[in-house]
Amino acid sequence: MDILSTKKKSAPKYGRRKFVKNLFAMIASALVPGSLVAREKRSDKPVLTLANGYKPYDHNWGMGVDVNKCIGCGRCVEACKIENNVPRDPFFFRTWVERYRILEDGEAVVDSPNGGINSFKNGPGEKAIVRSFFVPKLCNHCDNPPCVQVCPVGATFKSPDGVILVEPDYCIGCRYCIQACPYGARFLHPETRTAEKCTFCYHRISKGLAPACVEACPTHARIFGEVDKKASPLQRFLRMNKIAILKPSLNTEPKVFYANLDMEVN
Amino acid sequence: MEDVINHLEPLLRKIQGYIYPNEIELHWGILIVIYPYVTGLVAGAFILASLVKVFDVKELQPTYRMSLLTALAFLLVAPLPLLAHLGHPEKSFEIFLTPNKQSAMAMFGFVYAWYLMAVLLLEIWFDYRRDVIVWAQNERGPRRWFHRLFSLFSSDLSDRALKFDRKSVQTVTIIGIPSAFLLHGYVGFIFGSVKANPWWSSVLMPIVFLFSAIVSGIALVMLIYMLVTPMRRKEMDMRCLDKLASFLFYAMIVDFSLEILDFIHRIYESEESIGILAELASGKLFVSLVVIQLLIGMILPLGAIAVVKLFGVPAELRRLLYFVSALLVQVGIFSTRYNVVVGGQLFSKSLRGLTSYKMTIVGVEGLLMSIALLLLPFVILYILFNLLPPWTGTGRGLMTPPEGSQK
């Protein structure tokens, strides 16, 4: 009783109204910032719009290659060199085509003369060929890219739409990324002395166009599109075919998917 | 651009089997061979020096300061081959400003700076401080000024200060050993962590690098000691030389065992790359790997030192054997670096073919540049030996042996 009475005496200075008001203010100050941050986190992806209206966060690009459809004409290699100003010399390729010939005794003979840009010629072989096929190669735009991991200055990076790009202004030309790429998809541009690679023709896809190699392919062996969106032609390709990727043991998670790939290909 | 093409053109004809078309250009050439070779010498020389201070190996006292200065001279040169090799050396500072924290290579600048500033310079400063103050007192002209500057204008020669110097050297050395391990183990990690390359990708790589570094560092200090001492018309300390040779011998045995372990492990696991690696080792790398690295650089010197240890060999012959062994070890370790760096790029990542490496004579990545880069540390060392004589009782009559180094 004593205690209660003393409390009542001091109460007028700190009345019930004020107490309730402060209680609300306290609870609100604890919850409001948290809920605001949470709302921000809940709202989808960050918004980034390029000058041409392209929104990188809305996409996740990949490519499908149907080995059975490739005829080894080399138009994709030619288109890529023209579109991206790749040096014409036979040492620099953003994409190339390999020919595999499996001989009678099981031996696999692989070649890619000048990246297959002038197609392939049949040489006089001593052994009979059991089967033969062409495999277009390019940067796999890995989801877990070793080249991005090793770049000392962060010049090579995974853009929000899953495309692996190189920022030549930052690249110091140390070539660690070239060493780290398991697919041989990178080279050092002899003029700029910076690392170069396939960009999925970023200047084209950000305008809604297909990469040059896809557009040039006469047999639709290459399919470009969204990896995640149900309606994309790539998704259909992934549903309709048995799919393989290159060097799966390295856990690079490539986003170039091959249909009808032979076990000889690596 | 022209010269790149002209350089690559003849290599097209030397391809065996199939390689990815972008692989014709071999990216890390002789300069990147020199880099791990030089950092290895730094780490090895430093670890040798720390034997004196931390493990109290008194016999090695005559080489203590020599090892420190050798480490410094080579450390100053270490970043040069990297810089010369970059496509854009003018942008190299980006590594410090915007490092990619995931990248092993991005840490180079920090590891290097730590080693240079926090370990090597600090230890040299504390160890020399007393002597430098005494020298400066008896000198005139630019030499005096250099020594005053080097001592950072300190002049405290009290017992307390000297005791602090000694303690500091001890502390820095203790920090220095793991740092030296870090410096070179880290270089091994740069290669060992490349999963795309089966020749490099090995968890043993940093450790193999480390022990080969210790081997090369000891051998180098041994060579320098054996060359400099007669030049000063002094007697060589045979106890010191014998001890050096012993440590060289033990380090080589560990190094050799690790390499053999790596070899057996690869053959036993026999992964998909084994075919092309076997072709590489028995073909293009046979001379540099089996003949130079293994036979000339390892088994021969091991045998020579073993002979000295087993049979009583007269001092004159012992010196000769030590000298030749240390020289062969240098050749062998350089070859080791070559076999790792260049060897790892001679086979295609398609595991279907081999390419070739052709060194140019002139040019930034040429032979002449490489020779210059390998000679430069010796020029620096000559200057350092003149400014900071590592030996006690020089003909200059400048000093008596400091208590610190008599320990």
Residue A180 and residue B351: Cβ atoms within 8 Å?
no
Is B15 a domain residue? Answer: no
The closest of A133, A95, A61, A131 to A217, measured between CA atoms, is: A95
Touching check for A190 and chain B: CB below 8 Å? Answer: yes
CATH fold group of domain A56-259: Alpha-Beta Plaits (3.30.70)
Q: Whole-angstrom Cα distance, residue A67 to residue A259?
A: 6
ipTM of the complex: 0.90
Give the residue numbers spanning the domain of B82. Answer: 28-391
Q: What is the per-residue pLDDT across B86-133, written as a single tens digit (0 to 9) for each? A: 999 999 988 888 899 999 889 888 888 888 888 999 999 999 999 999
Task: Decide if B11 is inside a domain.
Answer: no
Residue ranges covered by each domain of chain A: 2-42, 56-259
In B, minimum Cα distance to A197 occurs at B22
B137 domain-assigned: yes
Among A47-56, B82-91, B380-389, the range scoring the smallest mean pLDDT is A47-56
Quote the number of domains for chain B.
Answer: 1
Would B12 be classed as within a structural domain? no
Contact B359, B29 (CB under 8 A): yes
Whether B37 contacts B293, CB under 8 Å: no
Q: What does the pLDDT read at residue B394? A: 45
Cβ-based contacts of A89 with chain B (< 8 Å): 5, 8
Please tell me if residue A250 touches chain B, with a CB cutoff of 8 Å.
yes
Q: Is B50 within the bounds of a domain?
A: yes
Please say if the pLDDT value at position A42 is more than 60. Answer: no
Would you say residue B205 lies in a domain? yes
Q: How many CB atoms lie within 10 A of CB A85?
A: 10
Q: DSSP alpha helices (H): ranges in chain A?
A: 2-10, 16-42, 75-83, 146-150, 176-180, 202-205, 212-216, 233-240
pLDDT tens-place string over residues B303-325: 999 999 999 889 899 999 999 99
Structural domain contains residue B404: no
Residue of A nearest to B15 (CA): A111
Asked whether residue B351 is assigned to any structural domain, the reply reads: yes
Least CB–CB distance from B22: residue in A184, A190, A250: A184
Residue B309 CA to residue B311 CA, distance in Å, equals 6
Distance (Å) from the C-alpha of residue B138 to the closest C-alpha of chain A?
A: 49
Query: What confidence score (pLDDT) does residue B91 get?
Result: 92
Contact B87 A171 (CB under 8 A): yes
The pLDDT of residue A43: 58
- The reply to whether A15 touches chain B by the CB within 8 Å rule is no
Cα B313 to Cα B305: distance, rounded to the nearest angstrom: 10
